[in-house]
Structure 1
């Protein structure tokens, strides 16, 4: 059974939270994640739901779009799919155009809910607040800088879009650094310079054993899959990466929570598929560790230790 501790949720700080929502109509032109974005690979669609097909949040009828998946929240250059039972993203998928990237966009820094789905199925305050008191940060799944490309207005809108709580999961601030932070930049530096486009899928590993903090089940592990055109081979390539925040998580006095390995690891896409219950077939087909099997983990201490070639 998952353990729980913490003071009453009403003590959580509301700093950086916007109570108003944008109109549903204002999202009409969001393009979302594009499956054909990575050069040389005809289609890398969003992960299939597999084990989560009965546990996704669908868009309200007035927000549905013809021809679009009924559960896909489209934002500027990225998309999110949400779990109903956990009120957290199953994954967030972004397209990054390194040749048009604008890293100077002013940080929006104001979190809000998305009106296209039930507002009660979105976590905005419950577990978030002062880290010194054991609360968590709103950890971006799609990094705020990643979709910030194109013309200035588009890049600015993309930044604001990443501050929807649908794109966040509880993370300790110290966790959101190191390899996790540097991975996309490292991949772009090793991408075919004529095809500076990558797609990144990021999400939490949601399990029944996740510990409960302030009434919210908090994921212990997170994952990324990055697809790109390899600089040397010019072939479409994917790598998978997994990180645990166990060693950063607050614990009550005299607690002896043990959650497993604390290390950053490169794993196969198949391993992520097993962890998450999602269908990642398109990414498995171009995985550099496809032959390694799901049991193999390669510990990494910096982004430049990530294996990019079979």
Structure 2
């Protein structure tokens, strides 16, 4: 059963712009590279799975030779759900050897002119957490694609501030392991192979609660891929995090919570819950062969298993 709490007032008018970049500005965006880690073992973008009839397509005037459902940015790509107006996932290539963490934060959210603006919620439900509103939670973390020359890194940072790369998150949720996992994996890779690919997305469900006229995902997932320094093999790990405990309570009531914590989970389990086809990634999972419902509770990034 859906529940709806709170009025749709107090919308955030700061840090957003109604201006969009010209379509021509996106002509050089290459997006996600499947062969970024190992050219002979490419990791394709997930298959649409149960979302095959719900993918947002680029407007006719914005289409090129590529997949019309792939929004390409600098070092990352996004696919979106039409029915939810949210990303199904954002997939990013990270080159730790060329990372530029000193790029100034763009900090201005905007729509992408290549798709229907009605599918891009720039303002509703976002704003001051003390008023029960939500943060614009990056799917691809703003620092991750910021590598290469300074100009390219600056472009990548600005690209992460498209609202297509966002799902509603409570500020208390958006920290800890959620932000540290990519850095932890990079710190545990060989210095000669400082490359990581990370996919991030919301777990979208028909029973997600309703706030400010929008359904809010209560869980999120990540899948990371890298070459393990000891085995020299392509390796993937899966991570699930829920924000149920951070959601605003209904006035005069309370939620009954499940045992939601940070968990390392099989990639096959993420595929089953998200409805996406992650078979190419599940093949290299450190938890391959485990039940899709298995969860390993983690309290810090050092709790993650990086080998089978």
C-alpha distance in 2 between matches for 1:255 and 1:143: 34
2:22 match: 23
2:248 match: 250
Q: Tell me the SS of whatever aligns to 1:139.
A: strand
Aligned residues: 308
Of 86, 89, 100 in structure 2, the residue corresponding to residue 88 of structure 1 is 86
Give the deviation of 1:41 after TM superposition.
Answer: 5.3
After the TM superposition, list the runs of 4 or more consecutive aligned residues in structure 1 that deviate by more than 3 angstroms.
none
C-alpha distance in 2 between matches for 1:293 and 1:255: 36
- Structure 1 unaligned regions, length at least 5: none
Shift in alpha-carbon separation, 1:25–1:210, aligned structure 2, 3 A = same
CA contact (8 A) 1:55 1:84 kept: yes
2:63 match: 64
C-alpha distance in 1 between matches for 2:214 and 2:245: 19
1:130 match: 128
Give the deviation of 1:290 after TM superposition.
Answer: 0.6
2:8 match: 8
Q: Which moved more, 1:88-97 or 1:257-266?
A: 257-266
- 1:38 counterpart = 2:37: yes
**What are the superposed Cα offsets for residues 278-299 of structure 1, whole Å, 9 maximum, x if unpaired?**
0001101100001212121000
CA contact (8 A) 2:107 2:161 kept: yes
Give the deviation of 1:70 after TM superposition.
Answer: 1.0
**What are the superposed Cα offsets for residues 27-48 of structure 1, whole Å, 9 maximum, x if unpaired?**
0100100000113752100000
CA contact (8 A) 1:40 1:235 kept: no
Shift in alpha-carbon separation, 1:87–1:230, aligned structure 2, 3 A = same
CA contact (8 A) 1:175 1:245 kept: yes
- 1:157 counterpart = 2:136: no
1:186 match: 184
If the length of structure 1 is used for normalisation, what is the TM-score?
Answer: 0.98
CA RMSD of aligned residues (A): 1.0
1:208 match: 206
C-alpha distance in 2 between matches for 1:250 and 1:77: 34
